[in-house]
Amino acid sequence: MRYEGKVYRPWPEAKSILIQTTLGCSINTCTFCSMFDDKRFKVRDIDDVMRDIEQARIIHPFVESIFLIDGNVMAARTDYLLKVFDKLKQTFPEVKHISLYSGLNDFRRKSINELKELKSAGLDMAYSGLESGDPLVLEKIKKHMSAEQAIEGMAMAKEAGIKVLLSFIFGLGGRHRSMEHIKATTDILNITQPEEIAPMALAIQPGTIMEQEVKSGEFIMPTKGQVLAEEQYLLQHLDFPTYYWGDHGNNLVPQKGLLPQMQDTFLQRVNHAAEHYIKDQQNVIQTFSW
């Protein structure tokens, strides 16, 4: 398999084969992210993608799950993506799960009919980054997406029948906007009701704008108590069924499972952990690079 640059996939896709369909991220301005700083966004030549799919068939005798990379694969033209899905289904008739990265605004840039075509062609799930529901945080991190646009994009995906795993970041509001961040984020989650959610604790990536902001004191990292308080608030106020992928390596209390079935149990675990940190304002969260 030929991959260009750094390669990322969500941790729930650990058993999926990866087909590089786009290069980089079509936004690539987020202050906290350095995932695709080694390349400019472009859609790969369709013939190269087809050859990679054929090569993957040679390497892998049995494939049940496929994940399309890089970032914002949904930004590619619909007719292009339909060709990729058709090739995948022909080459891997046994496949049960095909997913990709998609910005929430990428849903908005397609019609409902286009999204339904992609769903019918085999698209099972999209991984999208909300990051925060707080307008001030979204502006600060240069996400180039409003809360209203996030809600609209999610509604379009849901209408088309495309499942979404929506990720967001504990601590992204920093020391001084922690509760505003998590309250607004929880509100959007309750409005959009994604089929799966993936919260992860903020990790300062080397070489990012946010790393510079931390060093200069412009961004003050939250304490462990604040991060746990955000998860407490989230679990206390989520009011829809979803799968909780809270087991990212940076999370202070890694846990995953169905909500609301596991909601009380998860909250009890976070409450227990918070007892150790809630009064310690100097215990800044320490996390590692993705």
Taking only the tens place, the pLDDT of each residue in 19-61 is 999 999 999 999 999 999 889 999 999 999 999 999 999 999 9
Residue 289 in domain: no
For residue 201, the Cα-to-chain-centroid distance in whole angstroms is 13
Residue 4 in domain: no
Instruction: Give the predicted TM-score (pTM) of the model.
Output: 0.93
How many separate domains does the chain show?
1
Residue 70 in domain: yes
Is the N-terminal amide bond of 260 cis, ω within 30° of 0?
Answer: yes
For residue 26, the Cα-to-chain-centroid distance in whole angstroms is 15
Residue 173 in domain: yes
Residue 241 in domain: yes
Residue 290 in domain: no
* pLDDT for residue 284: 59
Residue 2 in domain: no
Collapsed DSSP state (helix, strand, coil) of residue 125: strand
* pLDDT for residue 71: 87
Backbone angles phi, psi at 105, to 5 degrees: -70, -20
Assign residue 119 the CATH number of its domain.
3.20.20.70
Q: Split the chain (290 residues) into runs of 10 and give each run's mean pLDDT.
A: 88 95 94 92 96 96 96 96 98 97 97 98 97 98 97 98 98 97 98 98 94 96 94 98 95 97 98 79 58
Residue 282 in domain: no
Q: Which domain holds residue 271?
A: 11-277
* pLDDT for residue 277: 73
> In the beta sheet, which residues pair with residue 97?
65
To which H or E segment does residue 84 belong? helix 78-91
